Amino acid sequence: MALPAIDPARYEDQLAAKLARYRAEFAEFGLPAPAVFRSAPLHYRLRAEFRLWHHEGRIDYAMFDSAEPKQPILLDTFAAAAEPIARLMPLLRERLQASDPLRRKIFQVEFLATLSGECLVSLVYHRPLDEAWEAAARTLATDLQIQLIGRSRKQKIVLERDWVQEVLEVDGKRLSYQQLEGSFTQPNGGVNRQMLSWARAQARDLGGDLLELYCGNGNFTVALAPLFERVLATELSKSSVRAAHANLAANGITNVAMVRMASEELSDALAGGREYRRMAGIDLAGYRFSTLFVDPPRAGLDEGTIALAKGFDNLVYISCNPDTLRANVAALAASHRIAAAAAFDQFPYTHHLECGLLLQRR
Ligand SMILES: C[S@@+](CC[C@H](N)C(=O)[O-])C[C@H]1O[C@@H](n2cnc3c(N)ncnc32)[C@H](O)[C@@H]1O
């Protein structure tokens, strides 16, 4: 991928270009004027990943541009990275440089931070990690006050925990989330807060029960559940489902049933297909679903899920890919109209735009 030029002077222009494309591509579906949610122009990414480049006795963070994939771009810090990561980067580099067990055959560093100020760092190696590594890593983690993980082939050493605790203030409430290393979490925390608030505003008067697909660690579930009588939430990833259970409990949410299932399987179960053992104890027929909430990966919705969506009065759709969103909206156009739209600039200075739509039955 070509590396974006991160330049706050370009922020409004790059956003305007993306909004113009969004409006044009959805004009035929009667897109209402989207509510626009901006990113911070700098230090917005809570995740960042760098190669470590060994040269002339020193190591440096490196990124690569697809135009010149063999030429490392060396950096001390990174303007897109959230403040805790940007502050940590030079300190961490110096400490890695100065320690033989920490430096030897390290090739990648991954950062995961929170708006609450926590930071987790994964150091990735081309060699097995031993006791000398672990002793040096413990001192480093204590000195820099970070969570630290060491990884190499078939080895993962978690010094304390492999997650960070995020706290997001949404509509005056403090929502807390366990966010796992290696599992999906929204990369732009400031924009995520705005997405949660927008989704709550769409759902506020819908009532009844909610079906949520692709719920991840319960990011939206925790924010939306208080607005519905009952919620059935599903997600494919085992580790995310575990985090979602922890997050529901931590936020005192008791009206959600969570099932680990692919959206394809859930649509099949709801369409009266085969029986799924994971649905044992879930009284599907007892739900009075008013609303379907989806936040799928870039591929968008599969055919079964589109068929399922056709039966809902309300569909709240968060999408990280306007192309598949457009195809899915086209497939629903005969039954549903767009009642509200949003643009979330989750990925500034790239051509990516996160979109939100409320679709309602015609
Ligand atoms: C864009 S993320 C959204 C997660 C969550 N809503 C959030 O805000 O953090 C998409 C999620 O869909 C899950 N997923 C991918 N394919 C799936 C499938 N076929 N069925 C169910 N979940 C799937 C991924 O594990 C990921 O957690």
Which residues surround ligand 1 with Cβ inside 6 Å?
184-186, 214-217, 219-220, 235-237, 240, 262-264, 295-297, 320
For CATH 3.40.50.150, the residue range(s) in the chain are 8-41+188-361
Radius of gyration of the chain (CA): 22
Residue ranges for the known binding site for S-adenosyl-L-methionine are 186, 214, 219, 235, 295
State residue 274's pLDDT score. Answer: 86
Tens digit of each residue's pLDDT (9 = 90 or more) over 201-233: 999 999 999 999 999 999 999 999 999 999 999
State residue 353's pLDDT score. Answer: 97
Length of the chain, in residues: 362
- CA 318 to ligand 1 center in whole angstroms: 11
pLDDT tier, 1 (very low <50, low <70, confident <90, very high otherwise): low
Nearest-CA neighbor of 147 among 129, 133, 165, 135? 165
Judged by DSSP in three states, 343 sits in: strand
Instruction: Calculate mean pLDDT across residues 84-108.
Output: 97
Nearest CA to ligand 1 atom 5: 216
Reported CATH class of domain 8-41+188-361: alpha beta
Residue 265 phi/psi, 5-degree rounding, is -70, -40
Tokens of 35: 């509510």
Asked if 157 contacts 150 with a C-beta cutoff of 8 angstroms, the reply is: yes
This model of the complex carries an ipTM of 0.99
> Is residue 320 among the annotated active site residues?
yes
Instruction: Calculate mean pLDDT across residues 32-37.
Output: 98
Share of the chain above pLDDT 90, in %: 93
pLDDT tier, 27 (very low <50, low <70, confident <90, very high otherwise): very high
Nearest CA to ligand 1 atom 26: 216
Range from 11-20, 66-75, 293-302, 325-334 carrying the lowest mean pLDDT: 66-75
Inter-helix orientation angle 322-332/11-26, to 10°: 20
State residue 69's pLDDT score. Answer: 86
Place of tokens 């959805």: 26
Please give the model's pTM, rounded to 2 decimal places: 0.96
Asked if 110 contacts 96 with a C-beta cutoff of 8 angstroms, the reply is: no
Inter-helix orientation angle 83-98/131-144, to 10°: 140
3-state DSSP helix/strand/coil % of the chain, to nearest 5: 35, 30, 35
Nearest CA to ligand 1 atom 27: 216
For residues 208 and 189, what is the distance between their CA atoms, to the nearest angstrom?
29
Q: Which one of the listed residues 119, 215, 320, 355 is annotated catalytic? A: 320
> Is residue 354 among the annotated active site residues?
yes
Tens digit of each residue's pLDDT (9 = 90 or more) over 226-251: 999 999 999 999 999 999 999 999 99
Angle of CA points 52, 155, 77, to nearest 5°: 25
Reported CATH class of domain 47-164: mainly beta
